[in-house]
Amino acid sequence: MTKKINMKLFAAAASLASLSVALLAAELVVRIAAPAYDPSTLLRFHYDPVLRITLGPPDTVIRNPSNVADGSVPVAFNHLGFRDSREVGDMGPDDWFALGDSLSFGWGVPVEDGVVARVERLIGSKIYNMSIPGAATEWPRRIRYAIDSGARPRRFLIFHSMGLLAKREPVVPAKTSPFTLSEVKRRLKTHSILYRLIASVVKDHPLWEVKAAAWGLVQAKPHTDRRAAFESCLRTVKSLASTVPETVVVMLPSPELWRGSGEVDELYRDYLLSLKTAGIETVDLRPDFEAGGDPIEYFFTFKNDDGHWNVAGHALAAEVVARYLLNRKAVTGAGL
């Protein structure tokens, strides 16, 4: 009897040891075969619970494996946690203050290839880029944070993506025990390449994602009431435009517009119209993206639903925005 129990215990221990060895080997193999999923090189933003804004890791240079399959790009953050290396305190009265999310942040592209740096070169005026992934409702606090650091924004250049209409500020989790499921998941997310690979594969297949969410393995995509988000974004932009009259909003079309979502198409048109009705200067990039025939070619295709521009997308966007700003100067006499 005892011998039988010992045998069973031995078998269980051997299986456990085998599983541990297999998982360790798998971590190693994935690190070699798919380095893009390495969590230690993952560009991570944090939501500061005191400032209530999203920021990058201050004074850090990190290689962003990004959403491009053909390499990674270095991303440097300044001491404030923004990608712009310059000191915001040096901002002059004619300089622009750019706001936006991951698109104008330059997700997946070198900083000099991003839309903001390109516009700056084309118009010859400084644009301080305070873009970072985060909800539009954070913008007033982001501006306050920059002002407290010496910035004097007198002109806003807002790069308004459609993603902002579905983005909410994160809920700061309460401190939990290190042994809760959410804490274990958080640790796996930041340390295990195998976990990241599994999560990416599941999330890349919508049907699997739904199934995994139903089983409680992954968090279901929060259903965002886009109309409610629409109103809060619009309120934020209107409030900024009323504080700083020289505000230009660049509307960034989402690839969802061409992937058959009628709802997004309607939102886009409504939002643009609402901005114009409110007397806010707008630049619509959609016609220029559609002029080439296939707008999707301006977006990364590494993930099925990626809404970030590739280098060609940034170049086209910058060309249109710079053209607008240069014409604006010619017509109204406004400075650049």
Partner 1 sequence: MNALIEFVQFLKVNKKLWLGPLIFVAALVGLLLLLAPGSEVAPFTYAIF
In this structure, the strands spanning 73-76 and 127-129 are unpaired
In the set 149, 200, 232, 274, which binds partner 1 (CB under 8 A)? 200
Looking up tokens 């806010």 gives 280
Closest separation between CB of residue 245 and partner 1, Å?
A: 44
Residue 244 engages partner 1 in binding (rule: CB under 8 A): no
Closest separation between CB of residue 116 and partner 1, Å?
A: 26
Integer angstrom CA distances of residue 296 from 145, 260, 312: 36, 12, 11
d(CA 120, CA 141): 24
In this structure, the strands spanning 61-64 and 73-76 are antiparallel
Tokens of 130: 């305070």
Closest separation between CB of residue 2 and partner 1, Å?
A: 19
Tokens of 187: 């640790």
d(CA 108, CA 75): 9
In the set 43, 197, 233, 316, which binds partner 1 (CB under 8 A)? 197
Residue nearer to partner 1 on the CB measure, 23 or 296: 23
The tally of CA atoms less than 13 A away on the side-chain side of residue 172 is 10
Closest separation between CB of residue 29 and partner 1, Å?
A: 6
In the set 90, 112, 204, 290, which binds partner 1 (CB under 8 A)? 204
291-320 residues in contact with partner 1 (CB under 8 A) are 302-304
At 71 the three-state DSSP class reads: coil
Site size for partner 1, by CB under 8 A?
29
Residue numbers of the site for partner 1 (CB under 8 A)?
Answer: 11, 14-15, 17-19, 21-23, 25-26, 29-30, 33-34, 36-37, 67, 69, 194, 197-198, 200-201, 204-205, 302-304
